[in-house]
């Protein structure tokens, strides 16, 4: 079979852009290069590998897990069932956090802690974008930390890793706390592909999804410098309740929310200058 034959075959079952992603991965071409090799004969071993991956996607297995990596902020991160698949909204969290850091801490070496780091996509990206920053990544899952450590090695990022339930085992002080914690309410309906394959412990939280925000805000003062930034990704309906929590546990702070590109309330930034 040729490259073109395999594209036509795959398009019978899944979307064409997913076909190109799978075939590019198997053959080592980028999506555009595929079209320069349409008449190329594909080896039987690669055909079988492609069809095995294709069947997983047909069976509704996340294509990011099939491929084993995902692009986040221009870098390739390893992902598997032990970590959430990074989303575009989290790229927006990182982008906005970088803007806050540069405004609040100009020309200053800062300490950043990423709580519930998963694949390490947030903490590692901040380290790569702010080379002088000292970054610590925290997760309660040893399996997730192994993925994050492999990503740090792959991307040549000098990161400190620690197993902890949020800040429970953390003693140091930080300028920036950032977190995309589990925030889906236990009774909220979500896509089956997400519910069935991504780690539920990284998705769902008690107290209408607010549990981890309160856990962080109620305990983090001991780990913050006087001048600080807390950056959260949030659920689209949680803004007011999280702002209320912030004002419950802190005084004389500034709290700002931002929408994502889909016009949903998606980020909250709490800071003291």
In this predicted model, what pLDDT tens digit does every residue of 115-141 receive, in sequence order? 999 999 999 999 999 999 999 999 999
Backbone angles phi, psi at 71, to 5 degrees: -85, 130
Confirm if 145 and 81 have CB atoms less than 8 A apart.
no
pLDDT exceeds cutoff 90 at 203: no
Confirm if 125 and 86 have CB atoms less than 8 A apart.
no
Residue 273: what pLDDT?
Answer: 77
83 three-state secondary structure: coil
Of the candidates 187, 15, 191, the one whose C-alpha atom is nearest the C-alpha of residue 87 is 191
Which residue(s) pair with 83 in the sheet?
none
pLDDT exceeds cutoff 90 at 195: no
pLDDT exceeds cutoff 80 at 187: no
In this predicted model, what pLDDT tens digit does every residue of 221-252 receive, in sequence order? 999 999 999 999 999 999 999 999 999 999 99
First to last CA, the chain: 63
In this predicted model, what pLDDT tens digit does every residue of 31-78 receive, in sequence order? 778 888 889 999 999 999 999 999 999 999 999 999 999 999 999 999
The angle at the Cα of 120, spanning 115 to 125, to the nearest 5 degrees, equals 105
Residue 159: what pLDDT?
Answer: 97
Superfamily of domain 83-272: Vaccinia Virus protein VP39 (3.40.50.150)
Of the candidates 153, 147, 157, 154, the one whose C-alpha atom is nearest the C-alpha of residue 123 is 157
Confirm if 232 and 63 have CB atoms less than 8 A apart.
no
DSSP 43: P
Domain coordinates of the chain in residue numbers?
Answer: 3-59, 83-272
Residue 185: what pLDDT?
Answer: 83
In sequence order, the 6+-apart residues with CB closer than 8 A to the CB of 119 are 77, 78, 79, 83, 84, 86, 144, 147, 148, 151
- CA distances (Å), 237 to each of 180, 200, 213, 260, in order? 15, 20, 14, 13
The angle at the Cα of 48, spanning 30 to 5, to the nearest 5 degrees, equals 60
The angle at the Cα of 87, spanning 82 to 89, to the nearest 5 degrees, equals 140
Integer Cα distance of 202 and 164 in angstroms: 14
Confirm if 224 and 250 have CB atoms less than 8 A apart.
no
Residue 36: what pLDDT?
Answer: 86
Integer Cα distance of 271 and 174 in angstroms: 12
Integer Cα distance of 234 and 184 in angstroms: 9
């Amino acid at each position: 079979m040729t490259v073109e034959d395999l594209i036509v075959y795959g398009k019978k079952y899944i979307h064409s852009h997913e076909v190109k992603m799978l075939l590019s991965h198997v053959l080592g071409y980028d999506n555009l290069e595929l079209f320069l090799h349409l008449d190329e004969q594909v080896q039987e071993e690669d055909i079988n590998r492609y069809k095995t991956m294709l069947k997983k996607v047909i069976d509704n297995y996340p294509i990011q897990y099939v491929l084993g990596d995902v692009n986040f902020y221009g870098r390739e991160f390893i992902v598997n069932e032990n970590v959430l698949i990074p989303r575009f909204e989290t790229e927006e969290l990182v982008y906005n956090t970088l803007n806050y850091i540069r405004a609040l801490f100009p020309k200053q070496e800062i300490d950043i802690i990423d709580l519930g780091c998963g694949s390490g996509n947030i903490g590692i990206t901040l380290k790569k974008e702010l080379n002088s920053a000292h970054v610590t990544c925290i997760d309660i899952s040893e399996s997730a930390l192994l993925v994050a450590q492999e990503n740090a090695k792959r991307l040549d990022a000098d990161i400190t890793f620690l197993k902890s339930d949020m800040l429970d085992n953390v003693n140091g002080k930080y300028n920036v706390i950032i977190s995309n914690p589990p925030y889906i309410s236990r009774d909220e309906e979500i896509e089956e592909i997400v519910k069935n394959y991504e780690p539920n412990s990284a998705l769902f939280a008690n107290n209408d999804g607010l549990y981890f925000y309160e856990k962080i805000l109620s305990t983090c003062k001991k780990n913050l410098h006087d001048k600080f930034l807390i950056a959260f990704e949030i659920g689209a309906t949680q803004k007011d309740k999280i702002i209320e929590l912030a004002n419950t546990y802190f005084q004389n702070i500034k709290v700002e929310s931002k929408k994502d590109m889909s016009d949903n309330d998606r980020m909250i930034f709490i800071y003291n200058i």
